[in-house]
Chains A and B, each alone.
Chain A
Amino acid sequence: MTENPTNDPTSRRTFLRNGARIAAMTGLGALGGVLAGRSNADAWVWQIDPQKCVRCGNCATECVLEQSAVKCVHSYAICGYCNLCTGYFEPEPNALTTAAENQLCPTAAIRRTFIEDPYYEYSIDEDLCIGCAKCVEGCTRFGNGSLFLQIRHDRCVRCNECAIARTCPGDAFRRVPASQPYLLKETH
C-alpha cells in the first residue's frame, strides 16, 4: 500500500524555505498596504455627513485625540439669529441670558452676541468645543439646523480606521476627497 502524498511530513529545509517565502510575501504585502494606505490617506479624508448625523455624543468620547477633532460648525446662511436659540439655551432656561445655568453647551463654547432687537449671533469657540452635538440636537430639534458637526482637518490625525466612525450609529462617517474635505450645509 502506498502512502497518501498529501500527508507527507515536511522536511525541515522545506518548512524553513516555505516559511521564508511566506514571510517575504507578507512583508511585501504589508509594505504595499502601508504605502497604499498612506497614499490613500493623502487623497481621501474622513468627514461627517450632516444629513446622517444622529447627534449621539460619540464624537466627543471616541476620538483618539484627548480633545476630539470633531467640532461644531455654524452655517450663518441658515441661522435664524433667534433670541431664544435652542442650540444655545437649555430647554427650559431660567432667563434668556448668558448665565451659565441657562446655557446648553457643557463647556460654554457658544458665544452669543447681540445684533439688534430681537436678533443675536451665535459663534463657536473651537478651543472649547468638544463635539458633543448637544447644541446640534437643540438647533435641529426646533430650528433650522444651522449648527452641525464636522471633522476639523487641522486637528484630525487621519487614522486609517477612524475610531469614531467605527462606533457611529448613523453611519454618518465617510471618506471624502482631501481636496474637498468638508460637507457643509448650504441654504434650504
Chain B
Amino acid sequence: MKKEFQLLDRREFFRDAAKAAAVAATVGAAARASAQRARPNPFAYDVSHLEKTDSKLISHEEIQRWRAPYSEARRLALAPGGELLVASGNYVTTFSAEGERGLEIALTEPARALTVSEEGLIYIGLRDHIEVFDAKGQRQATWDSPARKTWFTGLALVKDEVIAADAGNRVLLRYDRAGKLLDRLGARDRERNVPGFTVPSPHLIVRLAPDGLLRVNNPGRHRVEAYSLDGDFVLAWGQPGMGIRTFCGCCNPINFTLLPDGRFVTCEKGLPRVKIYSLQGEFESVVAGTESFPENAKACASRGLGDCTQGGLDAVADAQGRIFILDYVTGEIRVMKQKA
C-alpha cells in the first residue's frame, strides 16, 4: 500500500536541514582540500627527464643481489681473497662472492671507511678514529682521533702506510701501519698549487691507482684529483652538469673505485648513478642509471622525506672486473657484470 505523504513539523524540518547543511559543508571542504592537494605544482623542480638512461650507454647487467644484514649500510671493501666486507649498522660483515655470510665484527658505532691489507688486517674508520682487526675479527689496535672535527670517510693502503681521508677537516692523513701520524696531505696551499678539498657533505674517498698516485674525489669541484704520496697536486678531471657525462648536483662524485686496469667507477647521489671513466677521465659507459635506484632517488626528492645526505651509493670492483654496488637507502648489494 502506498505510504501517505506526511508533513514535517518545524522541529524536524530544522533538524534535517541542519544535518544536510553540515554534511554539505563537510563534503565541500573535503573536496576542495583534496582538489588543492592534488593540483600540479606550478613551481615544480623537474629533473625527471634526467632519471632515464639511454640504454645504448649501459654496459653492465645485474647478476646477483642481496641485502646488507643491518640498516644504514654505508661502505664496501674487498679482501685480497675476494671476500666482500660490508659495513652496515654497528657491524662489519664478510660475504663470499656468492653472498654467503661469514665473519661479523661488532663496533661501537657505524663504520664509515673500510679497507683490508694483504695480510688480512681489517682497517675500519669510525667517525673520529681508526680501529684495526685481525682476520678473525679480534681488535688489534685503536688509533686516537687526530683532530677535533675528524670525520673519516675513506681509507687506502700504500706500501707500509695507511692513508685516511678526513672529510671533516678536508685532508688526507698519512699513518704508518702502527698508527703513527706522519703527515697531512691535500690541505689548500696556493704556493704548492694544491686547490684543497671542497666537501659539502661527508664524502671524501682515497684510492691508490696502478700508476702509484693517489686518487681523491673533490665533490665540491665535481672532479677526481691525483696526488703524489708527498701531497703534490698532479692532475684532475671531471666536469659539473646534470648530463650523463658529467657529475650532477652540488657535489659529486661521492664515491669511486678502480677497475683492475685502472679505469674509474664513480658513484653519484641526487641522481643516483654509477658510471665508468677512462684512465684519462673520459666518460665511457653507465654501469647502472638512476632508474635502477628508484628508492635512492626518491630519498632525495620531494617524493620522499629528508634530504640528500641520506641517499648515495658505494662501489668496489674485484679482480674479474665485477662491480659490487651498495645502495645506502635500500641496503641492497648488487653484483654487476659487463654485458657480453
Given the known interface contacts A91-B50, A140-B300, A144-B307, the answer about A134 and B11 at a Cβ–Cβ threshold of 8 Å is no
The segment out of B38-46, B64-72, B99-107 that lies at the interface is B38-46
Q: Whose C-beta in chain B lies nearest to the C-beta of A161?
A: B29
In the complex, whether A188 has a CB less than 8 A from a CB of chain B is yes
CB B146 to nearest CB in A, in angstroms, measures 21
Contacts of A7 in B (CB 8 A): 9
Cβ contacts B217-250/A at 8 Å (1 or 0 each) = 0001110000000000000000011110000111
Given the known interface contacts A141-B270, A142-B270, the answer about A91 and B45 at a Cβ–Cβ threshold of 8 Å is yes
Q: Are B306 and A51 in contact (CB under 8 A)?
A: yes
Contacts of B36 in A (CB 8 A): 58, 62, 166-167
Partner of B250, one of A57, A142, A166: A142
CB A57 to nearest CB in B, in angstroms, measures 4
In the complex, whether A52 has a CB less than 8 A from a CB of chain B is yes
Q: What does DSSP make chain B's interface, helix, strand, loop or mixed?
A: loop
Q: Whose C-beta in chain B lies nearest to the C-beta of A80?
A: B200
In the complex, whether A15 has a CB less than 8 A from a CB of chain B is yes
Q: Are B43 and A140 in contact (CB under 8 A)?
A: no
Q: Whose C-beta in chain A lies nearest to the C-beta of B44?
A: A57
Given the known interface contacts A10-B10, A84-B240, the answer about A144 and B200 at a Cβ–Cβ threshold of 8 Å is yes
In the complex, whether B140 has a CB less than 8 A from a CB of chain A is no
A-B pair count, CB < 8 Å, reads 128
Interface residues on A, range: 35 or more
Cβ contacts A69-89/B at 8 Å (1 or 0 each) = 000000000011111111000
> In the docked arrangement, what's the CA distance between A141 and B249, Å?
8
Q: Are A141 and B308 in contact (CB under 8 A)?
A: yes
Contacts of B221 in A (CB 8 A): 83, 118
Contacts of A54 in B (CB 8 A): 302-303, 305
In the complex, whether B53 has a CB less than 8 A from a CB of chain A is no
Q: Are B248 and A142 in contact (CB under 8 A)?
A: yes
> In the docked arrangement, what's the CA distance between A91 and B48, Å?
11
> In the docked arrangement, what's the CA distance between A86 and B11, Å?
64
In the complex, whether B251 has a CB less than 8 A from a CB of chain A is yes
In the complex, whether B37 has a CB less than 8 A from a CB of chain A is yes
Partner of A118, one of B201, B220, B301: B220
The residues in A between 87 and 104 inclusive whose CB is less than 8 angstroms from any CB of B are 91-92, 96, 104
Cβ contacts A120-164/B at 8 Å (1 or 0 each) = 000000000000111001111111110000000000000000000
Q: Whose C-beta in chain B lies nearest to the C-beta of A18?
A: B11
Given the known interface contacts A55-B45, A57-B43, A140-B300, the answer about A83 and B307 at a Cβ–Cβ threshold of 8 Å is no
Q: Are B305 and A82 in contact (CB under 8 A)?
A: no
In the complex, whether A110 has a CB less than 8 A from a CB of chain B is no
Q: Are A143 and B33 in contact (CB under 8 A)?
A: no
Q: Whose C-beta in chain A lies nearest to the C-beta of B241?
A: A92
In the complex, whether B269 has a CB less than 8 A from a CB of chain A is yes
Q: Are B198 and A141 in contact (CB under 8 A)?
A: no
Contacts of A142 in B (CB 8 A): 248-251, 269-270, 300, 308
Partner of B45, one of A10, A52, A62, A137: A137
In the complex, whether A169 has a CB less than 8 A from a CB of chain B is yes
CB A72 to nearest CB in B, in angstroms, measures 12
Q: Whose C-beta in chain B lies nearest to the C-beta of A165?
A: B33
In the complex, whether B8 has a CB less than 8 A from a CB of chain A is no
Q: Whose C-beta in chain B lies nearest to the C-beta of A185?
A: B307
Partner of B201, one of A56, A80, A96, A138: A80
> In the docked arrangement, what's the CA distance between A170 and B44, Å?
15
Contacts of B241 in A (CB 8 A): 92
CB A42 to nearest CB in B, in angstroms, measures 26
Given the known interface contacts A10-B11, A141-B308, the answer about A133 and B43 at a Cβ–Cβ threshold of 8 Å is yes
In the complex, whether B47 has a CB less than 8 A from a CB of chain A is yes
Counting chain A CB atoms within 10 Å of each CB, the highest count among B11, B201, B250 belongs to: B250
> In the docked arrangement, what's the CA distance between A170 and B47, Å?
21
In the complex, whether A61 has a CB less than 8 A from a CB of chain B is yes
Ranked nearest first, the 7 interchain pairs of A and B with the lowest CB-CB distance are A80-B200, A145-B307, A142-B249, A142-B270, A167-B36, A132-B43, A57-B41
Given A15-B10, A91-B242, A140-B306, 11 other A-B residues pairs in contact with their CB atoms under 8 A:
A7-B9, A56-B37, A56-B41, A80-B220, A80-B250, A82-B251, A86-B270, A137-B302, A139-B307, A169-B37, A170-B305
Report 17 cross-chain contacts, Cβ distance below 8 Å, ordered by A residue.
A55-B45, A56-B37, A60-B43, A81-B200, A82-B200, A84-B222, A86-B249, A91-B50, A106-B43, A118-B221, A132-B43, A140-B300, A141-B47, A141-B300, A143-B251, A166-B36, A169-B37
Interface residues of B (CB under 8 A from A): 9-11, 29, 33, 36-39, 41-47, 50, 198, 200-201, 220-222, 240-243, 248-251, 269-270, 300-303, 305-309
